[in-house]
Structure formats: C-alpha cells, structure tokens
Amino acid sequence: MKMKKVKGIFLADIHIGDMPREQLKQEFEHVIYPYLEKNKIDFVIFAGDYFGHKLYLNDENTKLATEILQEIDSRLKPETKVRMVYGTESHEENQYGPIQGIMGHRDFKVIYHVCEEELFPEMNVLYLPEELLTDPDEYYKEYFENPEKEKYYQLIVGHGTIREAMVKAASAIEDRKNVKRRVPVFRTGELRKICDGLVVFGHYHVHTMMDPYMMYVGSFSRWKFGEEDAKGFLEATFHTKEKSWTYEFFENTYAPMYKTIGFGYKNTVFSSLDELKRKMDHFESLTKEPGWEHLKMEFNVPETCENPEYVMNFLRERFKQTPNIKVNIENGYIEQKREDGKKKLDEDYDKYAPIFDPNTEMEDRISYYVDVEYNKKIPVDLAALYLYHDLNDILKYQALTEEEKIIE
C-alpha cells in the first residue's frame, strides 16, 4: 500500500565519547525522546559520526551508545526503519558491530558503502558514506554519470565534504596528490543533477543550507568553541503523490553554550588596569549563569596600553584556575616578540651550526662551544679525555701537565 506521506528525522555527528557522557544523555532525554513520544515517525537516519573516537568495552560511553539506540528503539513504531550511514573512519573506528543487534527485530541497516534503495514506495534513496578511495570519479561513475540516474533519487544521505560548503577542507583533500586513497569531495551540481528532492549530509558541524533542499544538518550538540550556531536535528516529510519534501529544523536548546568574545585594541577594557580587572571579574561571574558555561576571550592588547607585558601576564594568570574560561592573546607586540625570538633562534642555529650537526663528534662540539661562548681554547683531545676517561686518567693527565709547567 502506497503511503500518502512519509515522515522521519535526520541526526548527524553525535560524536559519542567527545563530550561528557551525562551531558549528552540529558540532551537526548530532553530533546529526542520527548519528540519521539509525541511523533510517530516512519524512519530515522543517522548521517554519520555516531561515534567520536574508538571506545572500549568498559567505557561508560560504550554503554551510552547502546542506551541511546535502545531508548530510541523503544519509542518507535515496529515498522519504523532505521539507517546509520558510516562517517569518518577516525571517528567511527568500525564500532557498529556490537550495537547492530539492538534493532535486529526491525528494518535496520548500517551503510558502509555507496548504495541505493527504495526506502518507501516512490522514494529512491542514495547513500554516500565517507569512504577512502583510489579513484573517486571512477567509483561513483555509475551514479553521477549515468543518464538513467538523472533526477532519479528523491533523497540523498551522505557524510563527507561538499566543496561549496567546505572550501578549505575540499582544497586540502584535492591537494593530496600523492596519497593512494583519499575521501571524495562532492559538488552541489553533481548531487542536484541526480536528485530532485532532499540532500542531507553530515560531517560539517554547522547547520548549513546550500540550496533550499540541500543541507548539512549540523551536529546534534556542541562540545567546543567555534560552533556557536544552533544545534539540533531535522524533521522531514516526503509527500508521495507530489514527490516533494517539507522539513523543519528542531534546535537542541540543551546543548552547552561555547561563547567567544573579542576585545579589540580600541576596547575600553584597556583604558586602565582597574577597568580591565573590573571587566574580568564581571565575565567570570557570568560563567556561573546558564548559557555561559564555556567562555573564550580573545584579546588584541594594544602596544600603547599601560604596561602591555603586565596586562598579558595578568590575563594569563587571572583565569589559570578557571577551566571553563579560555584566554587567547594576539597583538603586534606579541608578534614582534615572536619574530625577534625566531630571528634569535635562526642566529643561534647559524652560530652553533657544528653543534647541531649529527656528524660532529661530541668532543668537537664541546671544544667549539667553549671557544665561541667563552673565547677559550680547549683542545679536542682534552675534551675527549673528560668525556670518555675515568677520574684516575684525568688526574694523571693533570699531574703530567703540572710537571711540564715546572720543567718549563
């Protein structure tokens, strides 16, 4: 029987193990489980990186990985289908085996390689897990260059790099010419050519739209700076007769906040040391309030401020014992110090080049160093004596030297 509409959800980049276990558990308890209790959906698709790194059997996060699937399974209809698309190898580490039995009673699959299926009547799906390939163009040829596949799919679910959204990452991958196997870089044009419906990817943690029906769903939660954008999951409905999609992004408002605040060189915080201390006390007190759990402050200390060295040392020491506050300091003053330090290092390397030469004997190194640093000549054989002979030999040498001086 053809269904009039099919509704499901997409989750991506859960990264179990990369954030505190209890925090992630609570987010599922407050966001995903209540949603599933209220909405009877037809499919659940994970778009890669369910795991954050390799876990061990006695790890509490291994239990969490199992518990999440069990809790989801208990809230689904018996006929609801579940798909898990394999993500980045360094995160997934081929750990799906032990958890596959949890949903063994229902239509459940882990997608390791590119494949297609008619998930529901009139709904053809292409899965693009992230794979290491010797020739991506050849590997995907039957899908992207096959005239029969034009506008064939109503849904593409993948994990990996789409050039238009991840330009730097795409360029870095494509520049690895000498690598035998590499991950593919997809382009919006080739994806849209074969799909006239919804394209949902995982990998990029920021919820990003490439066209009205092509997106990175983004990571479900937040565990580091630089990802201040909304986190959550995607609900999507496929209307069978029209072969069209409607969707809604549900924000995970329980995800921890990671705020970044910048203080430019013109900021009034640098007007006086008293003002600086007052502002820092204020921001430290804010971190005790909801929504300010993690704070990173970036300072561009002006060279003209009162005692810039003291200011920078004060900022580093002020939050040394406050793990949820990070401090970054960048300015011309520091850059100049770095340049001076690098210049001094280069000069020292040139000055002491024979010492750094692995082919130079140790006694030659010592003799050279004493000559350059203290302007004193130590014969190489004397340096060797002190290095390789015992105390008695050294004393005998000194006694002979004294006798020679007396004779002279």
pLDDT digits over 167-216, tens only? 888 888 888 777 788 899 999 999 999 999 999 999 999 999 999 999 99
Q: What average pLDDT does the chain have?
A: 87
Q: What is the pTM of this model?
A: 0.75
Percent share of the chain, pLDDT over 70: 94
Judge contact between 63 and 25, C-beta under 8 A: no
The rounded distance, in Å, linking the Cα atoms of 83 and 44 is 6
Fold of 5-251: Purple Acid Phosphatase; chain A, domain 2 (3.60.21)
Region 337-357 average pLDDT:
76
Q: Tell me the pLDDT tens digit for each residue of 6-19.
A: 999 999 999 999 99
Q: Report the C-alpha gap between 362 and 318 in whole angstroms.
A: 45
Q: Taking the domains of the chain in order of start, what are their residue ranges? A: 5-251, 258-334, 352-407
Percent share of the chain, pLDDT over 90: 45
Please tell me the predicted confidence (pLDDT) of residue 319. Answer: 85
Which whole number is the average pLDDT over 231-260?
93
Check: CB of residue 82 under 8 Å from CB of residue 107: yes
Task: Please tell me the predicted confidence (pLDDT) of residue 407.
Answer: 45
Q: Give the best-scoring range by mean pLDDT among 54-68, 187-201, 316-330.
A: 187-201
pLDDT of 377 higher than 50: yes
Q: What is the pLDDT of residue 334?
A: 58
For the chain, what's the residue count?
Answer: 408
The pLDDT of residue 405 is above 90 = no
Q: Which of the two residues, 161 and 333, has the higher pLDDT score?
A: 161
Asked if residue 275 has pLDDT above 80, the reply is: yes
